[in-house]
A and B are shown apart, each in its own frame.
Chain A
Amino acid sequence: MAGRLPAPGAARGRWVLERAVARPSLPALVALGLVLVLFALQAHELLSARGLAGVLDVAATLGIGGVAVALLLIAGQFDLSVGVLAISSAAGTALLVEHAGWGIWPALLASLAGALLVGVVNGVLVVNTGLPSFLVTLATFLVLQGTTLAGVRAIAGSGRIAGLSDAPGWSSAEALFGATAQLGDGRFRVSLLWWLGVTAVATWVLWRTKFGNAVFASGGARTAARELGVPVRRTTVALFCLSATAGWLIGTLGLVRFGSVQVGTAGLGSSIDFIVVAVLGGCLLAGGYGSALGASIGALLYAVTRQGITLAGWDPPWFQALLGVLLVVALVANAVVGHRLKGVPRS
């Protein structure tokens, strides 16, 4: 016990290497490099300012949702309602502006409150019933989707609400959520800054705060967390509120960008995308492992693949096929890493 290992230096070196390999974001980073090289050869426009702006535009929205979902996955929970919440909160804001005559800011605050309420309901249901969050948020998804579609059609007469840009306070909202910057021939959107901000804050919170510790422990070792008095229930509810807020932010970014909202049967697609992004970024579905940075790299990987296929002139369905392959590779890599990390050495 007291004796040191025979070759502490070598052991230390191996451990550093292992730690690098065990970084949740590493497989995504490698895949991102491969995909970048592949499409840079196939479609040169991808690396132009214009192509990059397109990639980052796709990645920003995905990344914001992906980071929020990654935090939930780390805590051992699941959220299918983020995507539809984006549409619902945007529709709510638009209805308040167009049909109740509110200013954009009060309407945004009201829809944020609504989104938080959905988050609290999700969280409290999961925490108090012990039902799998997959099913609870699936139910939320259905309720939100149906209510939004029927509500918007009943009030606005069609699935589209437009002409929001005359609302009081629109210019300040546009500066915050819809600003763009022209660099070369690429038009970069402010959503990029939101994405970077969300990733940075989430990373700091995960690794440097008590809350982050509680998130990891809630997912990786729930019994231990309970025994040590980690507020697992409060953490879970807070995370559902966080993912609801991310949904609201995504909806608001889209709403302000177009000055209108189109409510359609979006399906589960967008919510699944966020989970795909988080898993590509190295989150274990079992919880306890993952990173916000990984989810953001996953979002980049997703965006590069999608834009690359479009720009290379491939038939778009190839995107789904390639994404599926990437997802399987990510799942297998995660499973291997998770197995090795959780493996209990015998004494």
Chain B
Amino acid sequence: MTEELPADDGARGLALRRVTVRHGAVPALSRVSTTFPAGQISCVLGENGSGKSTLVALLSGLCRHDEGELLVDGTAVRFRSPRAARGAGIATVWEDLAVAPLLSVWRNFFLGAEPTRGVWPLRRLDLDAARETTVRAMARVGIADLDPDQPASRLQAGERQSLAVARAVHFGARALVIDEPTTPVTVARQTLFGQTILDARSQGLAVVVITNNPRYAHLLGDRFLLLAGGQVAGELTREDVDADGLTALMAGGDQLAVLTAALTELHPELGER
């Protein structure tokens, strides 16, 4: 609507234009404009309550924007449910992994988007296709020899994360939203996870990683979006900032800048460090 808008409107990927999301009267996101281009990894950083979760919910269809526009490959969309978002090729790895412990692995994999065959009164799950696809997709994220019929509660924490990632990779044709899971996993698993993210980028997906860890973000990310109080506090690229800078921004943001300025004024020798 105004000249502040990002220039690459027609570009592939996701974009937000002056998006406001309110929970009740409180805006959780307030006039946020940004882009998550295809073929790049965008990291979203911010404290708790900065609007990260709302951004995830918005991109994956769990909540809807009250103002502004959400663009997918240049077209304004308004997802009615997470199913609609997944239908549009935006898949999410949720912070809680969204795994139902009592359901089998393949039921978890396809939950909400099950393959079926037959016509309505007899429309049934396509069990063989579902099992086969699950085993193949899990093998792609490094879990071989998996019994797709075992309940997800029998998986180890890391394997559950892999299940969530494999599912997102399978359904994410356009974009991958990764709300960094908080479950502790091994370094090897984390490496595989990172590998998956990089693969998704090279396949031309728009990858959005929501994280608390600036060093990890700098390792993977091409672009960094800093959120604070539901607003964009900064948008940087890899060229603009190094890992330490990102950490500093993340830790204090403008409070740190104010503190630095105040200290430098009182003790000029600090500025020379």
Show the binding face of A for B, using Cβ within 8 Å: 1-2, 4, 8, 15, 204, 208-210, 213-214, 216-217, 220-221, 223-231, 288-289, 341-347
B82 with A224: CB separation less than 8 A: no
A341 and B114 form a contact (CB under 8 A): no
Q: Select which of B86, B123, B127 is within 8 A of A229 by beta carbon.
A: B86
B227 to chain A: which residues have CB within 8 Å? none
* Besides A15-B150, A288-B100, 10 other A-B contacts (C-beta < 8 A): A1-B188, A15-B154, A210-B123, A224-B100, A229-B84, A341-B102, A342-B102, A344-B153, A347-B184, A347-B185
The complex places the Cα of A209 from the Cα of B112 at a distance, in Å, of: 11
Which of B103, B142, B156 is close to A217, meaning CB atoms less than 8 Å apart? Answer: B103
In contact, B116 and A210 (Cβ under 8 angstroms)? yes
Complex: chain B residue closest to A218, CB-CB = B100
- Which residues of A have CB within 8 Å of B145? 4, 8
> How far apart are the CA atoms of A220 and B112 in the complex, in Å?
14
CB closest residue in chain B, given A290: B102
A15 neighbours in B (Cβ, 8 Å)? 147, 150, 154
Residue from A225, A289, A345 within 8 A of B157 (CB atoms): A345
Known: A216-B107, A224-B96. A1 touches B143 (CB 8 A): yes
Write the nearest CB–CB distance from B22 to chain A, whole angstroms. 19
Q: How far is the CB of A20 from chain B (nearest CB, A)?
A: 13
Contact check, B100 vs A216: say whether CB atoms are below 8 A apart: yes
Question: Which of B61, B102, B123 counts the most chain A CB atoms within 10 A?
Answer: B102
Given known pairs A2-B144, A213-B114, A221-B99, the reply for A227 and B157 (CB within 8 Å) is: no
Binding site for A on B (CB under 8 A): 60-62, 81-86, 92, 94, 96-103, 107, 110-114, 116, 123-125, 127, 142-145, 147, 150-151, 153-158, 183-186, 188-189
- Total A-B Cβ pairs within 8 A: 119
A345-B156 contact in complex given A209-B124, A213-B107, A227-B92, C-beta closer than 8 Å = yes
9 CB < 8 A contacts A-B: A1-B189, A221-B98, A221-B99, A221-B103, A224-B96, A224-B99, A228-B83, A229-B85, A229-B113
Q: Within the complex, which residue of B82, B101, B186 is in contact with A227, where a contact is CB–CB below 8 Å?
A: B82
Contact of B125 with A210 in the complex, beta carbons under 8 Å: yes
Closest residue of chain B to A343, judged by CB? B153
B140 to chain A, nearest CB (A): 13
Complex partner residue of B103 from A2, A204, A209, A213, CB under 8 angstroms: A213
Q: Is the CB of B84 within 8 A of A344?
A: no
Q: Are A225 and B112 in contact (CB under 8 A)?
A: yes
Contacts of B114 in A (CB 8 A): 210, 213
User: Are A225 and B100 closer than 8 Å at their CB atoms?
Assistant: yes
Chain B interface main SS type:
loop
- Taken together as a complex, chains A and B put the C-alpha atoms of A344 and B183 apart, in Å, by 12
Q: Which of A209, A214, A288 has most B Cβ within 10 Å?
A: A209
Contact A220 B99 (CB under 8 A): no
Q: Are B101 and A344 in contact (CB under 8 A)?
A: yes
CA distance A343 to B84 in the complex (A): 32
Tell me which residues across on chain B come within 8 A of A220, comparing CB atoms. Answer: 100-103
Contact of A221 among B100, B150, B158, B188 (CB under 8 A): B100
Q: How far is the CB of B143 from chain A (nearest CB, A)?
A: 7
Check if B111 sits within 8 Å of A225, measured CB to CB: yes
Q: Which residues of B contact A225 (CB under 8 A)?
A: 100, 111-112
Distance of A9 Cα from B114 Cα, bound (Å): 31
Residues of B within 8 A of A204 (CB): 124
Query: In the complex, are the beta carbons of B96 and A229 less than 8 A apart?
Result: no
Q: A227 and B151: CB pair below 8 A?
A: no
Task: Give min CB distance, B85 to chain A, whole Å.
Answer: 7
- Shortest beta-carbon distance from B154 to chain A in Å: 8
Closest 4 CB pairs of A and B: A229-B83, A229-B82, A221-B100, A228-B112
Tell me the smallest distance from the CB of A294 to a CB of chain B, in Å.
14
User: Are the C-beta atoms of A229 and B153 separated by less than 8 Å?
Assistant: no
Give, as a whole number of angstroms, the nearest-CB distance from A254 to chain B.
Answer: 28
Chain A positions within 8 Å of B116 at CB level: 209-210
B153 touches A217 (CB 8 A): no
The chain B residue with its CB closest to the CB of A345 is B156
Given A224-B96, A229-B85: A288 touches B153 (CB 8 Å cut-off): no
* Docked CA distance A229–B107 (Å): 14
**Pair A208/B82 contact, Cβ less than 8 Å:** no
B86, B116, B125 interface centre (most CB from chain A within 10 Å): B125
Residue pair B98, A224 in contact (C-beta under 8 Å): yes
Least CB distance from A171 to B in Å reads: 28
**In the complex, what residues of A have CB within 8 A of residue B144's CB?**
2
